Amino acid sequence: MEMYLWKQESESNKGIYRMNYTIQYFIDKFTKIPQSYWITGMYVSMESRLLHIDGRLIPCCALGHCGCRSGESTEESRALVDLFRRHDLSIISVNDGIDTQFGSTKDSSKARVLCALESMQRQTNVQRRLLYRKI
């Protein structure tokens, strides 16, 4: 139902993403990842950096779960950053509990990120309904 398509604005990324990343895409993706595989303060847990070779799920932050590693981003992680920026938010601040409008540091990073995404989705739906009413 959601029709947000994210375009990458930077010249280095050739203008658009190969895949359309929606708010619902990230909600579905992050909902499937168990809480025990979420961390704060770094992209990937130090203990498990060497274990990623066989493709197993390892503890990461939201950006890490999108393939971002120190100094290296992916199309998916850039889309997530762009999505949060379009809503005047920082995915790192939400994930790490610095931005407390989506939960305190006592809440899990997964819960904060999902809360922020769900809030964005509600805002988008309200804006869409208002737009339809104006037309």
Does residue 59 lie in a domain region?
Answer: yes
Total structural domains within the chain:
1
Q: Which domain holds residue 79?
A: 11-134
Mean pLDDT over residues 93-118, rounded? 93
Highest mean pLDDT pick, 84-93, 104-113, 119-128: 84-93
Q: Helix, strand or coil for residue 102?
A: helix
Number of other residues whose CB lies within 10 A of the CB of residue 113: 26
Does residue 77 lie in a domain region?
Answer: yes
Render pLDDT for 19-60 as a digit per residue (tens, 0 to 9).
789 999 999 999 999 999 999 998 888 766 555 555 677 899
Does residue 5 lie in a domain region?
Answer: no
Q: Which two tokens stand for residue 41?
A: 């303060």
pLDDT of residue 19: 77
Q: Torsions phi, psi of 121, nearest 5? A: -65, -40
Name the pTM for this structure. 0.77
Does residue 80 lie in a domain region?
Answer: yes
**DSSP characters over 44-81:** B-GGGGGGGGG-----B-HHHHTT-BTTB--HHHHHHH
Render pLDDT for 50-92 as a digit per residue (tens, 0 to 9).
555 556 778 999 999 999 987 789 999 999 999 999 999 999 9
